[in-house]
Amino acid sequence: MWKYAARKDEGASAWGTAVPEHASAVLRELIHGARNAPKKPWQLGRWRRTVIRQGTSLGVVNWRLCPPVFDRAPVNPQPSLQRAVMCAEGEPCASKFGLWSQQRGHIRGDMGRYPFPHNQRSATCIYPRTADHRDAARAFRAWSDEIITSDGARGFLRTRRPDTPDGVPNSTVSEGIAYGMSIAVLFDDRTLFDGLWGYARLFLNKSGLMDWYIAPDGSGPLGVGAATDADEDMAWALIMAHRQWGAREQQRYLDDAKRLIAAIYETEVDHGQWRDLLLPGDDWRGRDVFNPSYFAPNQYRLFGEVTGERDAWNRVIDVGYRTLFRCLSPENGNATNGLVPAWCTSDGSPIEAFPGALTNYQYDSARAPFRILQDYQLTGDARAERYLRDVAGFFSQVGAANVVDGYSLTGHPAPDPKSRTSHLGSAVFIGCAACGAMVAPEYRAFVDRAYERVRTGELLARSRYYNHCWTVLSLLMLTGNFVTFE
Gap between the Cα atoms of 314 and 265, Å rounded: 12
**If 0-12 CB within 10 Å is exposed, 13-18 middle and 19+ buried, where does residue 317 land?**
buried
Q: For 460, phi and psi rounded to 5 degrees?
A: -120, 35
Going by C-beta distance under 8 Å and a sequence separation of 6 or more, which residues neighbour residue 386? 325
Give the list of residues 6+ apart from residue 87 with CB closer than 8 angstroms, or none. 93, 100, 101, 106, 107, 108
Counting Cα atoms < 13 Å in the Cβ hemisphere of 107 gives: 25
Buried-exposed string 46-56: b where 16+ CB fall within 10 A, e elsewhere: bbbbbbbeeee
Question: Which residues, 6+ apart, have CB-to-CB distance to 180 below 8 Å?
Answer: 147, 148, 157, 159, 192, 196, 469
Question: Which of 324, 209, 323 has its CA nearest to residue 262?
Answer: 209
Q: Is 370 exposed, middle or buried (0-12, 13-18, 19+ CB in 10 A)?
A: buried
Instruction: Please give the backbone phi and psi of residue 151, each rounded to the nearest 5 degrees, phi first.
Output: -65, 130
Count Cα atoms within 13 angstroms, Cβ side, for 294. Answer: 25
Q: Residue 204, SS3?
A: strand
Q: Round to whole Å and give the CA distance between 246 and 276.
A: 32
Q: How far is it, in rounded angstroms, from Cα 52 to Cα 22?
A: 8
d(CA 210, CA 234): 10
Query: Which one is catalytic: 91, 229, 381, 385?
Result: 229
CA angle 234, 237, 238 (to 5 degrees): 85
9 is catalytic: no
Q: Which of 9, 91, 135, 175 is catalytic?
A: 175
Q: Residue 63 CB: number of other CB atoms within 10 A? A: 20
Judge contact between 208 and 263, C-beta under 8 A. yes
| Torsion from C-alpha of 157, 476, 136, 233, nearest 10 degrees | -10
Question: What b/e readout covers 408-427, taking b as 16+ CB neighbours within 10 angstroms?
Answer: ebebeebbbeebeeebebbb
Q: Which helix (H) or strand (E) covers residue 28, if one does?
A: helix 24-36
Largest CA distance in the chain: 78
229 is annotated as an active-site residue: yes
- CA–CA separation, 332 and 389 (whole Å): 19
DSSP 8-state code for residue 315:
H
Q: Which residues are catalytic?
A: 175, 229
